[in-house]
Amino acid sequence: MQATARHLRGWLALACLLVMPHLQGCLGAPEIEDQWTRLDIVEVESGAIDPETDDAALRVRGRITYRSILTGSLIMEIRSSETLGAKDVDLRDEADRLATTRQITALLESTGPSGSSSRSVTGFDRLIQEVDFYFPGDTPVPPAGGATFAVFYFGDVEEVREPGGGESVVITARDFEHEHILPGAYVLAEGN
């Protein structure tokens, strides 16, 4: 009786060892959105009141879902492009986020901000933060054939003293793919 029970346990253990590698393929790997730090624009409100100035402003709310420890700055910018339209940057929820990250990188490299705001942050795995950014006035009018975007990304902000004594702010985007960061964007307006 004991030998039979021992043999049965041995066969069950062997069966488990043979089946387990195949079950991993059934479960599948987690999506990139569940592995990389993700930044999303979750709400845009025109005509909001900036709490610091009491003036009408464009409010853009961003959400960051950390997947690792990160220290730096959350940056929200308003950018207009003459060459990239709304159809050139795939911002659908079901879009391939790595391809979208590359499109947003191209947008950052080919345009300059008409408005910029940042917040210094430190986050850790699974922390979710929502931050409101305010821009004076309303959405800038996009150029013909192009679009105006709100772009939300992780980077570094550095104050630099100019030779004449003034100061300027230099914003540098992180290497999104290397650091596993998925930036976000939102089409504010399309040009005719």
> Which residues are CB-contacts of 112 (< 8 A; sequence separation ≥ 6)?
79
Whether 3 maps to a domain, the answer reads no
Whether 81 maps to a domain, the answer reads yes
Amino acid at 33: E
Instruction: Supply the DSSP symbol for 95.
Output: S
Whether 106 maps to a domain, the answer reads yes
Confidence band (pLDDT; 50, 70, 90) for 144? confident
Whether 5 maps to a domain, the answer reads no
Question: With 80 as the cut, is the pLDDT of residue 13 above it?
Answer: no
Using only C-alpha atoms, the chain has a radius of gyration, in whole angstroms, of: 23
Whether 22 maps to a domain, the answer reads no
Question: What is the average per-residue pLDDT within 51-58?
Answer: 92
d(CA 93, CA 91): 6
Domain count along the chain: 1
* Residues β-bridged to residue 119: 74
Using an 8 Å Cβ cutoff, are 83 and 146 in contact?
A: yes
- The pTM score is 0.82
Whether 2 maps to a domain, the answer reads no
The domain in which residue 85 lies consists of 32-190
Alpha carbons within 13 A on the beta-carbon side of 128: 5
What's the pLDDT score for residue 52? 92
Whether 9 maps to a domain, the answer reads no
Please write the tens of the pLDDT for every residue from 55-110.
989 999 999 999 999 999 999 999 999 999 988 999 988 899 999 999 999 999 99
DSSP H helices in the chain: 2-27, 97-110, 176-179
Instruction: Supply the DSSP symbol for 162.
Output: -
Whether 26 maps to a domain, the answer reads no
